[in-house]
Chains A and B, each alone.
Chain A
Amino acid sequence: MKRLAHSLDELDRRAFLRRSAAGLLGVGLAPDGLLPHPSRVGTARRVIYLYMSGGMSHLDTFDPKPGSEVMGPTEAIPTRADDVSIGAHFRNLAPLMDRVAVVSSMSSNQGAHVQGRYFMHTSYTMRGTIRHPTLGAWLSQLAGADNPTLPPHVAVGGDVYGASGGFLESRHYPLPIGNPSDGLRNAHLPATVSEERFHQRMDRLAAMNAAFEERYGGQKLVRSYAEAYDQAVELMRSDDLTAFDLEAEPEPIRAAYGQGRFGQGVLLARRLCERGVRFVEVTDGGWDTHVENFDAMDEKLPSLDQTLATLLLDLEARGMLEDTLVVLATEFGRTPEIVSGRNGRNHHPKAFSCLLAGGGIRGGQRYGQTDERGEEVVDRKVTVPDFNATIAHALGLDVEKVHQSPTGRPFQVADKGRPIAELFA
């Protein structure tokens, strides 16, 4: 059975390669209608959450205002979705926008980075007295692990501030991966230790621990350590451990995702989701463009374009787009005013854009609207809790349900946020 699955995998991979190469070279568009989009609500089992840390400019990316002086040198291009035009840097993404919903009426009341990130991740504003769980931690707690040998919640990339399990138990906290190319640390035996020697070690350890467990096994924590060791050994032996190993990925695919830390992190996210990890967050920094905003866009957008387009095609080719929700989020947008002298844009929480794709989301639409300068939301405002409630709903989580913190305080997965029905197919 395993072998069969593997060979199917290989077929998909080849099919994907053919198509992605074509897409990336601009010689053709992905064929239409190969994979029917389902029309059910809440088909997501897992999330790839791409976080643009620092505040991604909405005007230069997914909410351009062609012809307005707020655009500076940024231009817009049409996409496969009729009423969605996007920044001209997204050449690879444009033909795929029929899979993507742009939420361009996002609005937050948190204008500082740390507070904004916290709000975006937890749906609650930052308090000194409690830490709220992020969506990933909630999902881990409420849906449990899909693959018992892998951790359900992983965070890739340096800055994981705010990506914490809050008041939930520590096993729901994300497993942090700093550099995606390093994979999971300490997961392999040292070179000097053979499998046989490791067996001997474990046998002697069991003998050593037996007396202790006999005497103190009544204490839960002693038993938890026995379990943690079993799980660790299981993980070390798990075939799924290769999920953390990017070397196992064919070179063309590694290249297609982009060789930078972010691109490789997203590839890692796909590998993990493929093997049943529930929630993978990948953080990309450098979006706080107070100075020389347009230089930064020239540098960052082509690689975001490449990575995102590759991810969507890859998920689709593997038949994963239906039950994998792809989210692109950030803490706020940036001002329409271009600060003279430094060509920068400042923080702008009042209006910004996020993306949703896959997992039962109806692509090819722009939800909500900002005014002609991209300054204020004028149609169907989406609050941060609403956005997170939509993600939770896609995952089949009950956003109305009240959960108690260990100190007995009541919380909801996305605070009082309400899912947006029109975003679903």
Chain B
Amino acid sequence: MTSLRLVVPLALALVSAGNGQDVRQAARRVDQLVEAGLRDAGQRPEPEVDASTLVRRTFLVVAGRAPTLEELDRWTRRGADHGELVDELLASPGRVSHAFNEWADVLRVQSRFGRRVSGEPYMHFLKDALAQNRPYDQWVRELLTAEGAAHAQGQGATGYWLRDFEMPLDAMSNTMRVFLGTRMECAQCHDHPFEDWTQRQFFELAAFNGGMRYSSIDLRNPQRSMDRQRANVVRAFAQENGANGRTVVRRLLQDQGVGLAGDGNGAIRLPKDYAYDDARPNALVRAHVPFGPDVSLPEPPEPPQAASGPAARVRARRAQPIEPPPLGSREAFAAWLTSPDNPRFTTVIVNRVFKSTFGLALIEPVDDLRDDTVAVYPELQEHLEQLMRELGYDLVAFQRILLNTRLFRRGAAVFDEAGEEPFRFSGPALRRMSGEQVWDSLLGLALGDPDRTLKAPGATAAPIYAEHARIAGLDAEGLEKLLDEEMLRYTDRPAYIRVVAARRAAARERATSAGPSTAADLRAKIQELTVALRKARRSRDQDAVARIVREIADARRDAATQTFVRNPQFVRASELSQPAPAGHFVREWGQSDREQISSSSLDANVPQALQLINGVVDARLLAEGSALRRALDACEDSPARVTTAFRAVLGRDPSSTERRTWVRLLEDEGGSGVVDLVWTLVNSHEFRFVQ
């Protein structure tokens, strides 16, 4: 199947490289269309915001967290340029973390899908695609066409269909919704009541994945995927150990084979209770797309002639029902779905990026397009789709244009959900931070730069790859030993528990042999300095004594910070288990349980309020070793402390009234006054909303 992508016109190719002139020009066109629309509706655009509001908003929208004090200072200094900030953030690991959180919500990413499938390789694939900013159409295509063992390195894209393990029909409904904004789940069981989709159309779509299996090993003929020696071991083992032995072998193969196989035979059977006149129940239907450019698959070859004779009859008895041969229909489906000529693929992604940038999309909801759906600004919608196609689905280049608009610099506008009028973007919509943004921003107050906690994509998947490779690499003898060990589960349970414990210990060993911690380095340094201090005292070198005492104090404080900072719980939300455990801060603030598409929530609830009132500030944010505590301790006087607290938490300077009030309170109350100030700021609307 050849790609239908248009050749990128040369002039616009420059835009993707971040060329200032072209970006500004493209951004200006967006503003013209929005402002014309506002004029027609008799609305006025919001005035532009001040530098610090813009910096905070840009950090939250692009990097998913508020700026640190240092970052705020740097980007609000005279001469700092918004375009440069945008470029720097788009190139930062924070952007990847934030984009991952957004996609994890859409794609229902979990660290595990059921007992057998790890989500880590899939998470690795997604983070990698985002980090390298690979074109969107390209990585979506890889998700849709992936084959192979999921736990082998480099096959993480298999996680897309494995997320709905053995549920190919649900997976197809989800795919149509996520990438094409088309809701067909009703048609899974019956013709759609209010729209045109029929159950037959749905099955014709599902037929593109016909013949796809959820295992990279053919479990009916497992010996085929092994060399002869290992196949002999497996056969002999299963024969010798009866039913439990067969269970051991089956489990091992299932675990090792988790993955996808089959490039699609373009056919599927209708359900046995199919109730419409256009086909018989259980009839075989061929793959067909419901809209957009037609897809023609090669004709399937004739089914093999029925042979006669006793041998053939025996074969016929044994044989599985004849399956249509492979046709590469999965590839054909992926090409159709991601084609620039598909009328919905570009519409959906443009709106996702637009919403991520401005708080709402031109079409809401972004994943329920109907034939009569009209964008708030149809001309702008069309313009952006054209731009997206010309940029070759480079999402970073596309967002760079949106971030450079005047619209992005305007004051946040109130969005009245219940109102009759559509939201017209007199400014970006006022929105609450996502659960991840709240967590990551608080983490910044505690740690300074929270992006230090971001690991390279795939770091947490490495043990899974290693285990898969280890088992795949076993020779006949090693395989036999492994099977014997697994058999202990049934024959000698205490021994089996010991084996499992030993394996876990070995895995931990491998994981922690990655070098000494910084905290340990600091402890060693303190010891060295203490020795040096003794020496300096003996030689009565007063200058050296004073210097070393200072150095020891510094190292002690750094060590305290390290212990605080290296707390494995204090990592950015994208590095936590996916989703975070029930009851975790991020979940209480609305992170999705990853069971339904885009089910994260921005709703207010009581546990959130309790978290901020009683939980976070007094106990954590200002604990020994926290970055905010150190910054406040370093201030010389109350006015400086008030300014630092405002800038750290809200990203702005206090107004003169606020400064006066709080300075007086700090002077009356001392240390507890500072805590009260930070408490008030963290609990304020201003902290949790992106203005």
B368 proximity list for chain A (CB < 8 A) = 407
Instruction: Decide: B164 and A232 in contact? CB cutoff 8 A.
Output: no
Given A228-B604, A341-B244, decide whether A218 and B686 contact each other with a Cβ distance below 8 A: no
> B7 an interface residue at 8 Å Cβ cutoff?
no
* A193–B167 CA distance with the chains assembled, in angstroms: 53
Instruction: Decide: B686 and A212 in contact? CB cutoff 8 A.
Output: yes
Instruction: Decide: A212 and B676 in contact? CB cutoff 8 A.
Output: no
* A190–B167 CA distance with the chains assembled, in angstroms: 49
> A208 an interface residue at 8 Å Cβ cutoff?
yes
* A236–B614 CA distance with the chains assembled, in angstroms: 10
Instruction: Decide: A224 and B604 in contact? CB cutoff 8 A.
Output: yes
* A188–B167 CA distance with the chains assembled, in angstroms: 46
> A275 an interface residue at 8 Å Cβ cutoff?
no
Instruction: Decide: A201 and B679 in contact? CB cutoff 8 A.
Output: yes
Instruction: Decide: B167 and A216 in contact? CB cutoff 8 A.
Output: no
Instruction: Decide: A216 and B685 in contact? CB cutoff 8 A.
Output: yes
Mask, A207-229, CB within 8 Å of B = 1, is: 01100110010111110110111
Instruction: Decide: A189 and B614 in contact? CB cutoff 8 A.
Output: yes
Instruction: Decide: B611 and A225 in contact? CB cutoff 8 A.
Output: no
> B308 an interface residue at 8 Å Cβ cutoff?
no
Instruction: Decide: A212 and B603 in contact? CB cutoff 8 A.
Output: no
> B307 an interface residue at 8 Å Cβ cutoff?
no
B688 proximity list for chain A (CB < 8 A) = 225
Binds A, one of B169-177, B219-227, B394-402: B169-177
Instruction: Decide: A151 and B610 in contact? CB cutoff 8 A.
Output: no
Chain B residues bordering chain A, tally (CB within 8 A): 60
> B490 an interface residue at 8 Å Cβ cutoff?
yes
- The residue in chain A whose Cβ has the minimal distance to the Cβ of B590 is A170
Binds B, one of A47-55, A127-135, A359-367: A127-135
- The residue in chain B whose Cβ has the minimal distance to the Cβ of A342 is B490
* A218–B689 CA distance with the chains assembled, in angstroms: 14
> B415 an interface residue at 8 Å Cβ cutoff?
yes
B681 proximity list for chain A (CB < 8 A) = 208
* A160–B583 CA distance with the chains assembled, in angstroms: 11
> A18 an interface residue at 8 Å Cβ cutoff?
no
Q: How extensive is the interface on chain A, given as a class?
A: 35 or more
> A41 an interface residue at 8 Å Cβ cutoff?
no
**Shortest distance in angstroms between A144's beta carbon and chain B's nearest beta carbon?**
16
> B300 an interface residue at 8 Å Cβ cutoff?
no
**Shortest distance in angstroms between B677's beta carbon and chain A's nearest beta carbon?**
9
> A6 an interface residue at 8 Å Cβ cutoff?
no
**Of B414, B493, B596, B684, which is within 8 A of A131 by CB?**
B596
**Shortest distance in angstroms between B222's beta carbon and chain A's nearest beta carbon?**
23
> B613 an interface residue at 8 Å Cβ cutoff?
yes
> A114 an interface residue at 8 Å Cβ cutoff?
yes
Mask, B158-184, CB within 8 Å of A = 1, is: 000000100100110110010000010
Instruction: Decide: A212 and B604 in contact? CB cutoff 8 A.
Output: no
* A131–B599 CA distance with the chains assembled, in angstroms: 10
A218 proximity list for chain B (CB < 8 A) = 414, 416
Instruction: Decide: A190 and B614 in contact? CB cutoff 8 A.
Output: yes
> A409 an interface residue at 8 Å Cβ cutoff?
yes
Q: Which of A185-216 contact B (CB under 8 A)?
A: 185-190, 192-193, 197, 200-201, 204-205, 208-209, 212-213, 216
* A151–B615 CA distance with the chains assembled, in angstroms: 19
Given A164-B595, A185-B615, A232-B610, decide whether A208 and B418 contact each other with a Cβ distance below 8 A: no
Mask, B20-39, CB within 8 Å of A = 1, is: 00000000000000000000
**Shortest distance in angstroms between A279's beta carbon and chain B's nearest beta carbon?**
17
> B185 an interface residue at 8 Å Cβ cutoff?
yes
B174 proximity list for chain A (CB < 8 A) = 128-129
- The residue in chain B whose Cβ has the minimal distance to the Cβ of A129 is B185
Instruction: Decide: A205 and B607 in contact? CB cutoff 8 A.
Output: no
**Of A151, A167, A193, A219, which is within 8 A of B414 by CB?**
A219
> A169 an interface residue at 8 Å Cβ cutoff?
yes
Instruction: Decide: A186 and B607 in contact? CB cutoff 8 A.
Output: yes
Given A186-B615, A201-B676, A208-B684, decide whether A127 and B604 contact each other with a Cβ distance below 8 A: no
> A291 an interface residue at 8 Å Cβ cutoff?
yes
Instruction: Decide: A178 and B583 in contact? CB cutoff 8 A.
Output: yes
> A235 an interface residue at 8 Å Cβ cutoff?
yes
- The residue in chain A whose Cβ has the minimal distance to the Cβ of B165 is A128
* A127–B681 CA distance with the chains assembled, in angstroms: 43
* A71–B188 CA distance with the chains assembled, in angstroms: 44
**Shortest distance in angstroms between B409's beta carbon and chain A's nearest beta carbon?**
18
Instruction: Decide: B607 and A175 in contact? CB cutoff 8 A.
Output: yes
**Of A164, A171, A221, A233, which is within 8 A of B602 by CB?**
A221
B501 proximity list for chain A (CB < 8 A) = none
Given A169-B603, A190-B614, A227-B604, decide whether A213 and B685 contact each other with a Cβ distance below 8 A: yes
Instruction: Decide: B611 and A201 in contact? CB cutoff 8 A.
Output: no
- The residue in chain A whose Cβ has the minimal distance to the Cβ of B676 is A201
Instruction: Decide: A231 and B606 in contact? CB cutoff 8 A.
Output: yes
A167 proximity list for chain B (CB < 8 A) = 596
> A368 an interface residue at 8 Å Cβ cutoff?
no
**Shortest distance in angstroms between B535's beta carbon and chain A's nearest beta carbon?**
43
> B186 an interface residue at 8 Å Cβ cutoff?
yes
A169 proximity list for chain B (CB < 8 A) = 603
> A285 an interface residue at 8 Å Cβ cutoff?
no
* A228–B588 CA distance with the chains assembled, in angstroms: 13
**Shortest distance in angstroms between A418's beta carbon and chain B's nearest beta carbon?**
22
Given A127-B170, A131-B595, decide whether A212 and B611 contact each other with a Cβ distance below 8 A: no
- The residue in chain A whose Cβ has the minimal distance to the Cβ of B682 is A205
B582 proximity list for chain A (CB < 8 A) = 160, 176
* A67–B681 CA distance with the chains assembled, in angstroms: 71
Instruction: Decide: B614 and A187 in contact? CB cutoff 8 A.
Output: yes
Mask, B666-689, CB within 8 Å of A = 1, is: 000000100010011101111011
Instruction: Decide: A216 and B606 in contact? CB cutoff 8 A.
Output: no
* A220–B194 CA distance with the chains assembled, in angstroms: 31
Instruction: Decide: B614 and A228 in contact? CB cutoff 8 A.
Output: no
* A222–B680 CA distance with the chains assembled, in angstroms: 16
B607 proximity list for chain A (CB < 8 A) = 175, 185-186
* A160–B595 CA distance with the chains assembled, in angstroms: 14
Q: Which of B606-625 contact A (CB under 8 A)?
A: 606-611, 613-615, 618-619
B610 proximity list for chain A (CB < 8 A) = 184-187, 232, 235-236
* A120–B112 CA distance with the chains assembled, in angstroms: 23
Instruction: Decide: A232 and B414 in contact? CB cutoff 8 A.
Output: no
* A180–B287 CA distance with the chains assembled, in angstroms: 54
- The residue in chain B whose Cβ has the minimal distance to the Cβ of A227 is B604
**Of B490, B614, B685, which is within 8 A of A222 by CB?**
B685
B432 proximity list for chain A (CB < 8 A) = 221
- The residue in chain A whose Cβ has the minimal distance to the Cβ of B414 is A218
**Shortest distance in angstroms between B566's beta carbon and chain A's nearest beta carbon?**
24
**Of B171, B415, B611, B680, which is within 8 A of A186 by CB?**
B611
Instruction: Decide: A128 and B684 in contact? CB cutoff 8 A.
Output: no
B593 proximity list for chain A (CB < 8 A) = 164
* A187–B416 CA distance with the chains assembled, in angstroms: 32
> B421 an interface residue at 8 Å Cβ cutoff?
no
**Of B171, B417, B680, which is within 8 A of A220 by CB?**
B417
Given A187-B614, A197-B672, A228-B605, decide whether A128 and B685 contact each other with a Cβ distance below 8 A: no
**Shortest distance in angstroms between B650's beta carbon and chain A's nearest beta carbon?**
10
* A236–B607 CA distance with the chains assembled, in angstroms: 11
* A219–B418 CA distance with the chains assembled, in angstroms: 10
Instruction: Decide: B618 and A193 in contact? CB cutoff 8 A.
Output: yes
Given A197-B672, A229-B609, A342-B490, decide whether A219 and B415 contact each other with a Cβ distance below 8 A: yes
Q: List 7 A-B contacts (CB under 8 A).
A: A131-B599, A176-B582, A178-B583, A205-B684, A222-B430, A231-B606, A341-B490
Residues of A in contact with B (beta carbons under 8 Å apart): 114, 127-131, 151, 160, 164, 167, 169-171, 175-176, 178, 184-190, 192-193, 197, 200-201, 204-205, 208-209, 212-213, 216, 218-222, 224-225, 227-229, 231-233, 235-236, 291, 341-342, 407-409
- 5 further A-B contacts with Cβ under 8 Å, apart from A170-B601, A186-B614, are A129-B597, A218-B416, A227-B604, A232-B610, A235-B606
The list of the 10 closest CB pairs from A to B, nearest first, reads: A128-B170, A232-B609, A224-B604, A186-B610, A186-B615, A228-B604, A129-B185, A218-B414, A186-B614, A190-B618
